[in-house]
Amino acid sequence: MAMARSFDLGRFLRREESKGLALIAPPFVYALLLLAAPLAAIVLFSFWTQDFMTINRTFTLDNYREALSDPLYMELLSRSLRISLAVTAITVLLAFPVAYFVSFHVAPERKSLWLFLITIPFWTSYLIRVFLWRVILAYDGPVNGTLLGLGLIEEPLAWILYSANSVVITLAHAYAPFAILPIFVSLEKIDRALHEAGRDLGESRVMVFLRVTLPLAMPGVLAAVLIVFIPTIGDYVTPRLVGGSDGTMIANMIQTQFMRLNNAPMGATLSVLAMLMVGIVSLVMIVLTMRWTGGGKSK
């Protein structure tokens, strides 16, 4: 009896399971073929070498040795890391007050209008937006014009275009909604009664923010950090259009290796190194945040 019942239950579960698996199969197989296989190919390529058009398939670590000892590659990797860390910090710091404003100071029925207002500029052509930053930051552009007109500077600032600075400004603009939205979502989840409780217990506004709001918003802040940090390291367009030679990043070198120098294995090696760097830094950020918020709980 019991055997028969558990057998039926097992069959029922398998039916349920196989239905789910059958449904998920098409997108999953697609991702296996077009994502897992190509990524595996990139890793494989990084252990090969290329001489003009022929690829030498003997396993070697030469590419990694060369990449890690060449000052140019190392500079590009570390600069990409520096730039995207700066972009992440600036974007998230600038975005937090905006998300806070929309969540705490805007009437509930007008919140989606505000979010809509924030996202509209980002549905315009990415290329054209980046190009327009080149116009805005130009030597004779509106930023320098305004500052000159206000008498704040004597002569146009040259360092704001074709440098790492312009890359940071442009990317901080490009990724703004990706930072605002997750922070907003986590702020929305905070129980408003906690604030009143904090205030009633005699904490100042600032202390309530530091001890209640900020720790509870951390998951959203972490999500924002990762969503901005991961793709910016691989950005190609912004460094090309506004970066000049000081703002070139690793994606530009990867493109050069694949398309110009015909050195796919070195391009693959640099891609793997960039992915490793992104992965490690992201993991460190996740662990640090978990420890910080976890530490707050145990106190």
Residue 13 in tokens: 């579960």
> Which of 251, 266, 273, 281 forms a contact with another protein (CB under 8 A)?
251
Name the minimum Å distance from CB 90 to another protein.
11
Nearer to another protein, 64 or 258 (CB): 258
C-beta closer to another protein: residue 39 or 296: 39
Nearer to another protein, 280 or 296 (CB): 280
Scanning 190-263, the segments in alpha helix (DSSP H) are 192-200, 205-208, 214-233, 237-242, 250-255
Q: Which of 81, 176, 179, 217 binds another protein (CB under 8 A)?
A: 176
Exposure string for 250-285, b = 16+ CB within 10 A, e = fewer:
bbbbbeebbeeeebbbbbbbbbbbbbebbeebeeeb
In the bound complex, what is the minimum distance in angstroms from residue 65's beta carbon to another protein? 21
Site for another protein in 253-282 (CB under 8 A): 254-255, 258-259, 264, 267-268, 271, 274-275, 278
Q: Counting beta carbons within 10 angstroms of the beta carbon of residue 18, is it exposed (0 to 12), middle (13 to 18) or buried (19 or more)?
A: exposed
SS3 state of residue 244: coil
Of residues 1-30, which lie at the interface with another protein (CB under 8 A)? 16-21, 23-28, 30
111 binding another protein? (CB under 8 A): yes
What is the rounded distance in angstroms from the CA atom of residue 264 to the CA atom of residue 50?
Answer: 7
Asked whether the beta carbons of 58 and 48 are under 8 A apart, the reply is yes
Interface residue with another protein, options 1, 4, 107, 128 (CB under 8 A):
128
Q: Lay out the site mask for another protein across 63-102 (x = CB under 8 A, - = otherwise).
A: -------------------------------x--xx-xxx
